[in-house]
Amino acid sequence: MSDIDNELVTKEEMLRKVRAAIEDRATWFALLYEEFSKHLPVEKVEEISRAAIHKYGLIKAKKDPDSFEPKSWVIRHKEKGSADVFSSRIEYDDDQAIQMMGYCPLVESWKKFGLSPEKVDLYCDIAMEGDRGRADGHDGIVMELKDTIAKGCETCKLVIRRG
């Protein structure tokens, strides 16, 4: 075994690494969006970006179990470790689930990249198409975005319910 195979990392170190990877992808998205906007009407770039990320959400929904309920959304968020990455608090009952994310590596990346608050808010909303697509991929599931860190709120608040 190599030294790498024997290396153990703390939870904090792993969170830092995962957040950094997400930040990298957020920068990729910003660069793609900006470059495409030089060659296409910005409205078209936004439309295409939203459609592509929405499709990702639909793909993600296909990986969810058939008996997907609002509470399944937040339980899976916690079980796969995303709740830690996004410093999430979750609540749920039989009718709805609430996911409150207190940290967003995407928003952090876009801010570090020097984007305007308007661009950060736009990119955040486009990124949320993934969650909208995931909800759309399940009959009767609705996801409402109540607050966002990009708009200056303390958390991004997703309310997932039967609709």
CATH of the domain at 138: 3.30.1380.20
Which SS3 state, helix, strand or coil, does residue 130 take? helix
For tokens 């990455």, the residue is: 85
Taking the CB of residue 56, how many other CB atoms lie within 10 A of it? 15
E strands of 66-107, at which residues? 88-92, 96-101
Number of domains composing the chain: 1
Environment class of 70 (CB within 10 Å of its CB; exposed 0-12, middle 13-18, buried 19+): buried
Q: Please, which pLDDT band fits residue 5 given cuts at 50, 70 and 90?
A: low
> For 19-47, what is the mean pLDDT?
98
Residue 95 lies in domain = 3-162
Task: Identify any residues that bridge with 143 across adjacent strands, giving them in sequence order.
Answer: 160
151-161 pLDDT tens trace: 999 999 999 99
pLDDT at 3 over 70: no
Percent of the chain surpassing pLDDT 90 = 87
Strand order in the sheet with 156-162: 88-92, 96-101, 156-162, 141-147
Looking at every residue in the chain, the average pLDDT score rounds to 94
Q: Please, which pLDDT band fits residue 1 given cuts at 50, 70 and 90?
A: very low
pLDDT for res 4: 59
More confident residue, 30 or 66: 30
Q: In this structure, what DSSP letter does residue 27 have? A: H
> For 15-25, what is the mean pLDDT?
97
Q: In this structure, what DSSP letter does residue 158 have? A: E
73-130 pLDDT tens trace: 999 899 999 999 999 999 999 889 999 999 999 999 999 999 999 999 999 999 999 9
CB 159 within 8 A of CB 144: yes
pTM of the model: 0.91
Q: Please, which pLDDT band fits residue 131 given cuts at 50, 70 and 90?
A: very high
Cα–Cα distance, 47 to 100 (Å, whole number)? 27
